[in-house]
Amino acid sequence: MLTSSVVAGGLVGLAVSFRNLPDVRVLRNYIPAETTYLYDINGTLLYSLHDEANRDVVTLNDISPDLKRAVLAIEDSHFFQHRGINPTSVARAFLSNLEEGRTVEGASTLTMQLVKNLFLTPDRTVSRKLAEAVLAMRLEQIFEKDQVFEMYLNQVYWGHNSYGAETASRSYFNKSASDLTLAEAAMMAGLIQAPEDYSPFVDYQLAKERQALVLMRMRQLGWISSAEEAAARSQPITLGQVTSFQTSRSPYVTEAVVQELSDRFGSDELLRGGMRIQTTVDLEFQAMAEQVVRDNHRRLQAQGLYPDQIALAAVDPRTHYVKAIVGGVDYAQSQYNRATQALRQPGSAFKPIVYYAALASGKYGPDSTINDSPVSYPDGNSLYSPRNYDGTFAGNISLRQALAVSRNVPAVKLGQEVGINRVIEISRILGISSPIEPVTSLPLGSVDLTPLEMAAAYATFASNGWQSETTLIVQVTDSSGNVLLDNTPRPQLVLDPWAAASLNSMLRSVIDSGTGTAARLDRPAAGKTGTTSSERDIWFVGYVPQLSVAVWIGNDDYRPLWGGATGGSFVAPIWRDFMLKALQGEPVENFRPATDFVRP
């Protein structure tokens, strides 16, 4: 007792010389780094995101009593009797180390381990151990025992990048820390001193030996009976799997979500903030979209067309939620997300924006005529003379027919009539944010856009001008359930409804009798083909009232596809294949006619 008192008094005196140690009061507001989880719209886990610490924070009441007793038994059985340090253990360790001339025995309490992990370096030096003791005493002057124990159990490292009892429990046994059996709890407690060495994933027999040691100590302390010890030692253990740094179940989706949230919250908050993110995609629906892309890529190769990539983006016009996003044929071979990052020319798939501008001006209707004849416009020091795909001119032609068969000259003339700046303005209203130059050829798609931008723009046409923010995220909460971001759709009317409904009717003609007949469905559908003049990019973008989808085909190095490759011949069938699968079980819906709305 005298020795213990001397040691304890000496440590208190040393506290005066440690005035530069960290202020433990900062732990009143301490929030440990937590793992962020991404789920599909139905709550299926897609991905977990963290930095060096994979951790889920839980309360002390959410941890199995067996685990709490097991940890105390093997690490600090006098935890609830001391005030941060255990003088008897300190004295015993001091004498042993003095006798050996080096550190051979520790005397760390749970509190000392906690402050070491939070504030100090792992160096095994006398000065660090003294600092540990001082901080431990300071900590227990401020916090109750249960608070210290809860912090410890959430902070401690359990191996394989698992921090805290909850994450370790889910990794080792695929269950919550609240559901651990005595056998599992004893095995986990036995790992703390050297988790990578004692891990049952590394050496199961050694983990069982450590388990037996913990159970024996619990029985010696009278915390379990001999029968309970024997039953726990003989209980079969079913192991889980390491949960850290697992691959995403839908990487194109999760990477796009991470990018969207990093822009909003910052990457550090995303990695450490313990967010719970509900995405807008259904995992099974997304898997179907990825399979459609892979299957059609193989089909195109069998037909002699060898594009590097296919990308697909699907948006719900009623909510503007992204329903599927496929950034390429094989994520394992290329992580570049062409659906959200690849800026490619949409060609004639851009024309509907120009036709909408004409309809919304009040000067044109679907059956108004325009002269498809040669025309030239100043373009710098030369003249720009648009040509149609087949090299002919049709003379007077209705807007409906000009769009259905994708005549170029009428689109350029309409662009000049309504003004290129007006076309750009409408593009921005539709949510297109990529750079757009006010060139005369803009109506023919001489601008670089992403498939997601195209699918979202067409979704606004499909909803007769109603639009919410296009997003991959339904909701974000913190680990306590507090809402950080709520993307409940808040639709606003951004287009003229009559002009949008009229455009829908015209784009139905593209599929019914124009360049997109290969996209015909068993229900009303609207859409537009797109083929660049060099055949480097071919598209089909189309929709029904419930779903808007853009499909793009091309080569990453911008090599042209072979002659005759068009959106109508090669991409429309892919779009149709996807839509037939996506709309299974969905009721047939009709577009609202323009007569339901007042003409501007």
Q: How far is CA 362 from CA 346, 357, 412, 447, in A?
A: 26, 9, 18, 26
Beta-bridge mates of residue 157: 163
Tell me the DSSP string of 325-346: EE-SS-TTT----TTTT--B--
Cα 255 from chain centre:
5
311, 339 Cβ separation under 8 angstroms: yes
Query: Which of 248, 348, 468, 548 is labelled catalytic?
Result: 348
As a whole number of Å, the end-to-end CA separation of the chain is 96
Task: Kindly give, in sequence order, each residue whose CB lies less than 8 Å from that of residue 46, ignoring residues fewer than 6 positions away.
Answer: 38, 39, 40, 248, 249, 250, 253, 254, 279, 283
Task: Count other Cβ atoms within 10 Å, centred on residue 278.
Answer: 18
| Of 34, 48, 75, 260, catalytic | 75
Q: Is 348 a catalytic residue?
A: yes
Active site residue 209: no
Residue 326 has phi, psi (to 5 degrees) of -120, 110
Dist. CA 76–CA 86, nearest whole Å:
9
- Distance in angstroms (rounded) separating the CA atoms of residues 253 and 579: 19
Residue among 79, 59, 241 nearest 147 (CA):
59
Closest CA to 511 of 567, 559, 562, 471: 567
The whole-angstrom separation of Cα 90 and Cα 95 is: 9
* Whether the Cβ atoms of residue 376 and residue 385 lie closer than 8 Å to each other: yes
Q: How far apart are CA 509 and CA 554, in angstroms?
A: 26
Catalytic residues: 75, 348
